[in-house]
Structure 1
Amino acid sequence: MIQYNKENIRIFQSSLYLTTSAVIELDEAIILTDPNWLPHEVEEIKGYVNQIRKDKQLYIIYTHSDFDHVIGSGAFPDARVVASRKLSENVHKEDIMKKVKLFDQKYYLERNYEPKYPTVDYIVSEDGQQLLIGSSTITFYLAPGHTDDGLFTVIEPLGVFLTGDYLSDVEFPFIYSGYFDYVQTMEKAKNIFSKHAISVHVPGHGHTTESVVEMQNRLTFSREYLDQLLDEQANLEEILTEKYRFFEGMKDIHQNNKELARKEQSRKIALEANG
């Protein structure tokens, strides 16, 4: 499962959708993100955490509430959970956990823990909110657009940027909650790269990178893709087919993106016309 392993950062990768889970060892704590997917994968992550943890506090950061990212909740009962206020107060908690149950039922999967929707101990309510752990500073930014409860995390002085389901090298933007929110979140990502010295970028799906050029390429493509969604003349499918190996499996999401973006644009124009 190990995709990236350097000093005190280990990134685990699931067999499903190239989904990542980061384990970051600080002097005073262990940071874990989105433990996932399959039962033996969650166990492998848990085994490594237990190996390095000693007497340190474990923090789990949930980047958003898609069921594949909270499926490991329950495997780490004594962890302190960090997430956005919207994730904590999500009115669709039961539906999300039903998707977890259905997934396990469909593939006859048995887990040695009971998946539960995360109970959040440290709620992030605003951009720039910080959690200080010893010599480390963890800065959070709200990141709506993919879902409305997304969260960006920057861990310093390591320079780690955890983006959840944004800025992936294997997925174009998946817009589930709001097109203009997504556009603003990409502007926020641009500002984060300017404000913080990012040396490691970890997306929720895809590959960890230390290349500043690659980080900027991911951001630039996401912004260009969002702009072109509103352009009737843009031949996006051809570009996406060439760029993304698994585009055939994501084609429906692209069509949904176009419909959502254009509906929001029409609404915005109508509101502006009515004053």
Structure 2
Amino acid sequence: MIQFSNDKITIFQSVLYQTTSTVIELDDLILVVDPNWLPSEIEEIKAHVDAVRGDKACYLLFTHGDYDHIIGYKAFPDAKTIGSAALASHPQKEHKLQLIRGFDARYYVKRDYPVEFPELDIVIEEDGQQITIGSTTLTFYLAPGHTPDGLFTVIDSAHVFVAGDYLSDFELPFIFHSARAYEETIRKAGQILQNHPVELLVPGHGQYTASREEMERRVNMAQSHLERLKQAVITGDEQSLERLRLEHGFASESTDQCHQENISILQKEYLNQD
């Protein structure tokens, strides 16, 4: 379904995990971010792109390599692709594809395009790296922590900040890579809000926001959860750890597993526990 639309930006939201896919109409290109999930949802995104594209080039931007964010890659076979250097050298490409195949097999899903891991045409290697396409400039920031290959994208001309799996309205930090890196990435998000004319924030899961107050709340929410979790791990405060577990939205076995993974990574990084 369409979560938001104006004259430049359309945000699609899957029924699965409230995962977003964003189409941005720019002067010289159409940018499609993380096309996902179900075939009918991807077909809706494709139909929209076809309707607005005209003779513009299409670019696919991948915020990171989790399988739900790359699942629609080959539905846009003529698109140029953008992602981080860590995505290009992802060490578990086949594992991510197995997750897609496993999902499709479990739910009897058929796709009319091949399932492949993205091959990148444009590789982002450093903070502040910019690419210019015609009159449009995109600015990128490396965003590790959730995964090693995360990427923030800011388009000043559209006043949009594409955050990937950070800064959700309900989803607290899921750390699958590094707590220290996650903390730094959230600080970087705060700096982006200070240094760019952001009017629309798009997370990978959940609701967009056009409120600067809400953007800052999400930065603070992530920082607070991480800091309290770190202190609880360092001091061995089991009661606080349990309260932090219950803060996760849509509490389930899955969020419990993510919470435990957060704890394990913090123990490794701050207590040297394997």
Per-residue displacement from partner, 1:8-57 (whole Å, max 9, x unpaired)?
10000000000000000011110000000011111110111011111100
Out of 251, 256, 262, the residue aligned to residue 256 of structure 2 is 251
Per-residue displacement from partner, 1:53-78 (whole Å, max 9, x unpaired)?
11100011000000010000110011
Name stretches of at least 5 consecutive residues in structure 2 with no aligned partner: none
CA distance in 1, matches of 2:9, 2:248: 27
Matched, 1:34 2:38: no
CA distance in 2, matches of 1:46, 1:262: 44
Q: Could you tell me which residue of structure 2 aligns to residue 46 of structure 1?
A: 46
CA distance in 2, matches of 1:229, 1:82: 34
User: How does 1:227-246 map onto structure 2 within 5 Å?
Assistant: 227-232=227-232, 233=237, 235=240, 237-238=242-243, 241=246, 244-246=248-250
Q: Could you tell me which residue of structure 1 aligns to residue 179 of structure 2?
A: 179
With normalisation by structure 2, the TM-score equals 0.94
Deviation of 1:135 after TM superposition, in Å, equals 2.8
Contact 1:75 1:115 in 2 (8 A): no
* 1:125–1:201 CA distance, 2 compared to 1 (3 A): same
One-letter identity of the residue aligned with 2:42: V
With normalisation by structure 1, the TM-score equals 0.93
- Percent identical across equivalent pairs? 46
User: How does 1:89-104 map onto structure 2 within 5 Å?
Assistant: 89-104=89-104
* 1:251–1:34 CA distance, 2 compared to 1 (3 A): same
Deviation of 1:88 after TM superposition, in Å, equals 0.7
How many pairs does the alignment contain?
267
Q: Could you tell me which residue of structure 2 aligns to residue 82 of structure 1?
A: 82
Deviation of 1:236 after TM superposition, in Å, equals 5.2
Deviation of 1:238 after TM superposition, in Å, equals 3.5
Name stretches of at least 5 consecutive residues in structure 1 with no aligned partner: 269-275
Matched, 1:118 2:89: no
Query: CA-atom RMSD, angstroms?
Result: 1.5
Contact 2:31 2:59 in 1 (8 A): yes
CA distance in 1, matches of 2:154, 2:272: 34
Q: Could you tell me which residue of structure 2 aligns to residue 137 of structure 1?
A: 137
Q: Could you tell me which residue of structure 2 aligns to residue 66 of structure 1?
A: 66
Contact 2:248 2:255 in 1 (8 A): no
Deviation of 1:134 after TM superposition, in Å, equals 2.7
SS at match of 1:127: coil
SS at match of 1:188: helix
